[in-house]
Amino acid sequence: MSKKKKIIIITICSVLATLLLASVLVVFVYVIPEYKKKQEWLEAVEAYRNAKYATYETENAQYASGEVDVAFLGDSLTDGYDVDNYYPQFKVENRGIGGDTTFDLEKRLKVSVYDLQPKVVVMLIGANNFKTMFDNYENIVKGLTTNLPNSKIVLLSLTAMNGEIWGINNELACFNNVKIELIAKKYGCTFIDLFTPLFDLESNGIKPQYTTDGGHLTPAGYDVITGVITPILEQLL
């Protein structure tokens, strides 16, 4: 083998070794730490859910069927809703879990509301899976009406949003709200529009004072939806 060929081979091997070393460094410096962070986050989420379920089971055992007036069911918008403060005239329970999709919620209906047997269930769900929420939204409503024959079901619309992350979903939210209302009519549920009272014509999204990040609500935002929901609950109860 000529000296020139040996140099070329050595050079190629050196480059490949350098690339391999760089790949290993990337894995150790970036991939593994990010994987660990994701795993830690998933473990934290699972622990949070399990703690919620344990709390629900304890609370369910304390109540007789129909003793609770209203159970609020949903994701972070419900989880962050201080329903005890906003509805002192009713016996209420908050069954919201941040990050829930319609699929997550469907899996926990028994411990969340079936075992509780409230007079009214108020559900707000779908903001974490706009595009796939109707893969099982109707199944959730069927489950509620079948397993809670003595409970009245209230379906809340998706809320208005703004910002780069949430605002892009406004049009889809409007479309989905039409479907939610149709499902409500189909199953004899009450539909409440939360989108309109939160919407700002000038900004084409949720009014800035009503949101913390474009998707979640401020106390002022919760004041608005409480003002819309309360009269309906008073009628149903």
Q: Report whether pLDDT(19) > 50.
A: no
Domain boundary among 22, 40, 62: 62
Mean pLDDT for 100-111 is: 97
Task: Taking the CA atoms of 76, 110, 58 and 45 in sequence, report the sign of the dihedral they define.
Answer: negative
Report residue 89: phi and psi, to 5°. -80, -10
Claim to verify: residue 35 and residue 70 sit in the same structural domain = no
Q: What is the mean pLDDT of the chain?
A: 88
| Predicted confidence (pLDDT) per residue in 209-229, tens digit | 999 999 999 999 999 999 999
Percentage of the chain with pLDDT > 70?
83
Specify the higher pLDDT residue, 198 or 26: 198
> Which amino acid belongs to residue 77?
L
What percent of the chain is predicted at pLDDT more than 90?
Answer: 72
Mean pLDDT check: name the lowest of 9-18, 56-65, 106-115: 9-18
pTM of the model: 0.83
Same domain, 72 and 55: no
Between 24-28, 114-118, 126-130, 147-151, the lowest mean confidence (pLDDT) is in: 24-28
Both 86 and 201 in a single domain? yes
For 201-214, the pLDDT digits (tens) are 888 899 999 999 99
Q: Do 151 and 196 share a structural domain?
A: yes
Quick one: 16 and 78 in the same domain? no
What CATH number is given to the structural domain containing 202?
Answer: 3.40.50.1110
Residue 82 shares a structural domain with residue 197: yes
Which of the listed residues 62, 91, 113 is the one where a domain comes to its end? 62
Same domain, residue pair 226 and 154 = yes
Neighbours of 225 (CB within 10 A): 21
Question: Which of 46, 62, 78 is a domain's end point?
Answer: 62
124 and 185 within one domain: yes
Q: State pLDDT tens for residues 36-56.
A: 565 676 777 788 888 889 999
Secondary structure string (H, E, C) spanning the chain: CCHHHHHHHHHHHHHHHHHHHHHHHHHHHHHHHHHHHHHHHHHHHHHHHHHHHHHHHHHHHHCCCCCCCEEEEECHHHHCCCHHHHCCCCCEEEEECCCCCHHHHHHCHHHHHHCCCCCEEEEECCCCCCCCHHHCHHHHHHHHHHHCCCCEEEEECCCCCCHHHHHHHHHHHHHHHHHHHHHHHHCCCEEECCHHHHEECCCCEECHHHECCCCCECHHHHHHHHHHHHHHHHHHC
Cβ-in-10-Å burial (0-12, 13-18, 19+) of 127 comes to buried
Do 178 and 213 belong to one domain? Answer: yes
**From start to end of 15-91, where are the E strands?**
70-74
More confident residue, 24 or 180: 180
Total tally of structural domains belonging to the chain? 2
Mean pLDDT of 56-69: 94
Mean predicted confidence (pLDDT) in 101-110: 97
61 token code pair: 């055992």
SS3 27: helix
User: What is the pLDDT at residue 43?
Assistant: 73
Based on the domain organization, do 199 and 113 belong to the same domain? yes
Indicate if 36 and 77 belong to the same structural domain: no
Q: What would the pLDDT profile of 148-197 be if each residue is shown by its tens digit?
A: 999 999 999 999 999 888 888 899 999 999 999 999 999 999 999 999 99
19 and 50 belong to one structural domain: yes
End-to-end CA distance of the chain: 93
Domain that includes residue 21, residue range: 1-62
**Whole-number pLDDT of residue 167:** 81
